[in-house]
Amino acid sequence: MKITGLTTYRVPPRWMFLKIETDAGITGWGEPVVEGRARTVETAVHELSEYLVGRDPAHINDLWHTMYRGGFYRGGPILMSAIAGIDQALWDIKGKALGVPVYELLGGLVRERMKTYSWVGGDRPHDVVDGIAARREAGFDTFKMNGTDDLGMIDSARKIAETVKRVAHIRETFGDAIEFGLDFHGRVSTPMAKVLLRELEPLRPLFVEEPVLPEHADAYRRLADQTSIPIAAGERMFSRFDFRRVFEQGGLAIAQPDLSHAGGITECVRIAAMAEAYDIALAPHCPLGPVALAACLQVDFVAHNAVLQEQSMGIHYNRGGEVLDYVVNRADFAIVDGWIKPLPKPGLGVEIDEARVIAASRDAPDWRNPVWRHPDGSIAEW
């Protein structure tokens, strides 16, 4: 079998799908994207296609290393997201060619079903209690929300109190019937993270995500030494080499590689195994579309330390497109009481509605995250 071509489709709300075709008539789908930089990743995918067209798609390991090592410069969100989507599509082709789901090729299932959680609230964490109540009706008992508004490097007691009050209100309303993680989204400086973790600890969040920016990951150890709240991070780490430094420094309880950013299935299986060796749980990041979610699930179902899967059905970003809009086999993605079953179809297990993808790609908007500023006019982390 030989790869004959790569086609990319940028689609609403902010995703990109990749179709890899072969001379055997088997087609694989991937989702290479960085939110807000889709066109940049698209260019990278097409540059990397020089290494792929005419090659046997079965040689995933060699193609992966060719893309990673062949160009001298490597790593980072753009290149690793391009590789990630290509890698997903290659696994999809291999599974379809052999007639089995990808998890069968990775050694088979370690669990019967995977726990998922639901996002509530928007960019700024308001109306989360109403959001939780609505999602509980759909069966979810585990949630994630943004933990804070924008926060200055040294901010006020009032801002801290607002955050604590909001989280306390969630515990008061739902008691121990739900679990929730708080995403600090890299908005919080190390000194403010110390204060917030101490104040939030009695409210028992399931985890705090990106308590500080990944650039300051060396602070995770110090933060973990002063709090019992599990620290989660990883959506802005792009390879096992990035994760290795953080694992060695210590402090991380939950690794959150993104299957569309960290080199795809091939690399994230390695990251999962490395995390297991450090007694770190796995919870793949996935605020993206159905191919990314299908790729995450392939890893969840073979990784012993996978504990939670993010999924973006109903997330605030999904304006103009929902996760299952582009999927033919929607029933396979049914989430019952927060649990999802292994996708039964060969390859990644997602049948893409190609006509719908092509139609949606015609007027795809360029999604951008908002740019926030502090009251003094300086740039704020979003």
Catalytic residue annotation: 185, 285
Tokens at residue 204, please?
């028992």
Type of residue at 364: A
Pick the piece of the chain touching Mg ion (CB under 5 A) from 6-14, 207-215, 265-273, 294-302: 207-215
Residue with Cβ nearer Mg ion (183 or 332): 183
Bond prior to 290 in cis (omega within 30° of 0): no
Q: What is the smallest separation between the CB atom of 288 and Mg ion, expressed in angstroms?
A: 12
| Calpha distance 287→312 (Å, rounded) | 5
| Calpha distance 170→367 (Å, rounded) | 31
- The answer to whether 292 touches 14, Cβ cutoff 8 Å, is no
Where residue 219 falls (left for φ over 0; alpha for ψ -120 to 50; beta otherwise) is alpha
Q: What is the smallest separation between the CB atom of 214 and Mg ion, expressed in angstroms?
A: 10
Residue with Cβ nearer Mg ion (106 or 120): 120
351 known ligand binder = no
162 known ligand binder = no
Q: What is the smallest separation between the CB atom of 37 and Mg ion, expressed in angstroms?
A: 17
| Calpha distance 238→258 (Å, rounded) | 8
242 binds Mg ion, rule: CB under 5 A: no
Q: What is the smallest separation between the CB atom of 209 and Mg ion, expressed in angstroms?
A: 5
Closest among 310, 335, 264 to 106, alpha carbons compared: 264
Residue nearest Mg ion, Cβ-based: 183
Pick the piece of the chain touching Mg ion (CB under 5 A) from 77-85, 133-141, 177-185, 246-254: 177-185
- The answer to whether 13 touches 315, Cβ cutoff 8 Å, is no
Q: Site for Mg ion (CB under 5 A): which residue of 150, 183, 267, 310?
A: 183
| Calpha distance 88→102 (Å, rounded) | 10
Type of residue at 215: E
Residue with Cβ nearer Mg ion (235 or 267): 235
Size of the site for Mg ion (CB under 5 A): 2
Q: What is the smallest separation between the CB atom of 236 and Mg ion, expressed in angstroms?
A: 8
Question: What is the SS3 assignment for 335?
Answer: strand
Residue with Cβ nearer Mg ion (60 or 271): 271
Where residue 119 falls (left for φ over 0; alpha for ψ -120 to 50; beta otherwise) is beta
Residue with Cβ nearer Mg ion (186 or 342): 186
* Stated length of the chain: 382
| Residue 123 phi, psi dihedral angles, 5° rounding | -55, -40
C-beta atoms surrounding 1 within 10 Å: 15
209 known ligand binder = yes
Q: What is the smallest separation between the CB atom of 213 and Mg ion, expressed in angstroms?
A: 11
Residue with Cβ nearer Mg ion (42 or 183): 183
Name the CA radius of gyration of the chain, rounded. Answer: 20
Pick the piece of the chain touching Mg ion (CB under 5 A) from 8-16, 94-102, 145-153, 201-209: 201-209
Residue with Cβ nearer Mg ion (241 or 382): 382
| Calpha distance 122→126 (Å, rounded) | 7
Q: What is the smallest separation between the CB atom of 309 and Mg ion, expressed in angstroms?
A: 14
Pick the piece of the chain touching Mg ion (CB under 5 A) from 10-18, 88-96, 113-121, 180-188: 180-188
Pick the piece of the chain touching Mg ion (CB under 5 A) from 202-210, 313-321, 348-356, 357-365: 202-210
C-beta atoms surrounding 351 within 10 Å: 18
H or E segment to which residue 77 belongs: helix 76-98
Tokens at residue 46, please?
């097409």
Q: Which residues are annotated as a binding site?
A: 183, 209, 235
Q: Which residues are annotated as a binding site for Mg(2+)?
A: 183, 209, 235
What residues line the site for Mg ion (CB under 5 A)?
183, 209
